[in-house]
Amino acid sequence: MTVSTALPASTSQSLPGPVYAAIAPLMALAMALASPAVFNDADSFWHLAAGQWIVAHGAVPTTDVFSFSAPREVWHAHEWLTEILFAGVFRLFGWSGLAALSGLAVAGALTLVARRALRHGLSGLPLLAVMLLSLSLIAPSLLVRPHLFGLLLLAFWTDRLLAAREADTAPPLWLAAIMLLWVNMHASFLLGLALIGPFALEALIEAPSERRFKVFRDWALFGALAVLAGLANPQGFHAFVYPVYVMNMKMLASIIEWRPTDFSQTGPMEIALLALIGLPMLRPVRVEPMRLLILLGLVHMALHQGRQQMVFAIVAPLLLAAPLAQAFVSRDETSPGRDRKIWAGALALAALMVGARLSLPIQRVDGPTAPLSALAAVPQDLRDKPVLNELGFGGLLIYQGVKPFIDGRTDMYGDPFWFRYERMLAGDAATFEAGLEKYGFRWTLLPPDAPLNKVLATRPGWRRIYSDAFAVAYAKDEAESSVTHR
């Protein structure tokens, strides 16, 4: 058997590189603007409500201000800056504005990835394939939530770290100021800080012996400034502890986005892994050791928790831009004037898409996380009383001014609270009875398939007041309530 050592063949293309680069960002924007799935997360409601509360009170809350089950419980609104942004955009443009804002965040992140690939010479169909795969990995997380802005900052941060390595210098000190935004927008800032170490070590290893002290000093100064900037948040050092605490919560296994990646059906993560395995057998691809370690860490994160696929989707192609460009040499000749016109055209198309969306306001309708009709059917006097609600309905309740039993701020409620809640919804009579005694539930708002609904249907003193495809509401009779809690 002979082994070929020939250089990779060049790939031809019929369109300029920026055309291939702009497709995925524009598709991401279109998905956010046109697909109702962008609102398929109840957290959108409470993030908006939190932003409105912060603006109204001129302060970031440090204890719970929304639920009735955890009054005065410590709650750090660590994404307060994004929540203020949500509140401002919503006030001006409603739900359409939030959809556009989220789409622009993802489109911006993908554009940064595509432009780095183009700068290294990756173009044509290989570039398009990488970008569409990245979009596919992000698509399940394309929701109106703060994590999309963490994704945008992650793309910019990683791109600038790579640029510093290419220039054989430490990152500019102004880049550390990005942490002032990031730490107050999303908890993923900790990943940004963690990326400094591998790149600094790579620079130190590759530096000549006479320059190593300077390299160490410059990178250490940048890292120290970035950490100090990260401390500039209302929670101080707690912001550094929070992500670690959340990642170690046992209840994460009960939430779909935090579960390990499921390979029972072919998906984008499986395709990405097969490409990573198969490509080096087809064409020579060399990745620097420290970057390979980062890449393996990203794969581990994405396999361990499906939510981390979007992180892999951004950082992996940034790391692999140069190696892939060497493997797939493009025949496209850059033309600065032409390329600027293409990017200007893409920007104009994006603006046109956003303008069209803003001119057609989105009206929220019933959905799996928005049981609007069910809540509207609950009498106002009953809304003011304790409710046992589905986790996914908690955001809407907060937004509508109803204090929920539980909502998406699961880190605040903790593991014991969560598992007690799960047992109640599963129809465990003893746990429900204990919850009824402790919290005094007067009504419930649960999905139709919740086992507890069957229990309440046969339980004296409870009556169904509303039911549809998304939610069922039960109420406790006044007479029964007065006997139970006399």
**Could you give the angle at the alpha carbon of 107 between the alpha carbons of 189 and 295, nearest 5°?**
50
- The pLDDT of residue 2 is 36
pLDDT in tens, 123-176: 999 999 999 999 999 999 999 999 999 999 999 999 999 999 999 999 999 999
Side-chain-side CA neighbours of 354 within 13 Å: the count stands at: 20
Q: How many angstroms separate the CA atoms of 47 and 193, rounded?
A: 25
Structural domain boundaries of the chain?
17-356, 372-484
Is the torsion defined by CA of 177, 183, 184, 188 positive or negative? positive
pLDDT-based confidence at residue 10 (cuts at 50, 70, 90): low
pLDDT confidence of residue 480: 54
Q: Is the pLDDT of residue 440 over 70?
A: yes
In tens, the pLDDT along 189-233 reads: 999 999 999 999 999 999 999 999 999 999 999 999 999 999 999
CA angle 467, 432, 439 (to 5 degrees): 95
467 phi/psi in degrees, rounded to 5: -155, 135
What pLDDT is attached to residue 479?
A: 53
Q: What's the whole-number mean pLDDT along residues 438-457?
A: 97
Q: pLDDT confidence of 4, banded at 50, 70, 90?
A: very low
Which residues, 6+ apart, have CB-to-CB distance to 197 below 8 Å?
223
Is 1 a residue whose pLDDT tops 50?
no
What are the C-alpha distances in Å from 187 to residues 27, 106, 181, 241?
27, 17, 11, 10
Is the predicted pLDDT of residue 286 greater than 60, yes or no? Answer: yes
What is the C-alpha to C-alpha distance for residues 124 and 114, in angstroms, rounded to an integer?
A: 11
Question: Which candidate, 480, 446, 482, 484, places its Cα nearest to that of 464?
Answer: 446
Cα 453 from Cα 390, distance rounded (Å)? 12
- Which helix (H) or strand (E) is 18 found in, with range? helix 17-34
Spatial distance between the Cα atoms of 20 and 114, rounded to a whole number of angstroms: 9
Mean pLDDT of the chain: 93
Query: Stretch 469-480: mean pLDDT, rounded?
Result: 87
3-class SS shares of the chain: helix, strand, coil, % to 5: 65, 5, 30
In this prediction, residue 282 carries a pLDDT of 83
Higher pLDDT pick, 182 / 251 = 182
Q: Model confidence over 84-123: pLDDT tens digits? A: 999 999 999 999 999 999 999 999 999 999 999 999 999 9
**Token reading at 139:** 């698509």
DSSP string, 86-142: HHHHHHHHHHHHHHHHHHHHHHHHHHHHHHHHHHHT--HHHHHHHHHHHHHHHGGG-
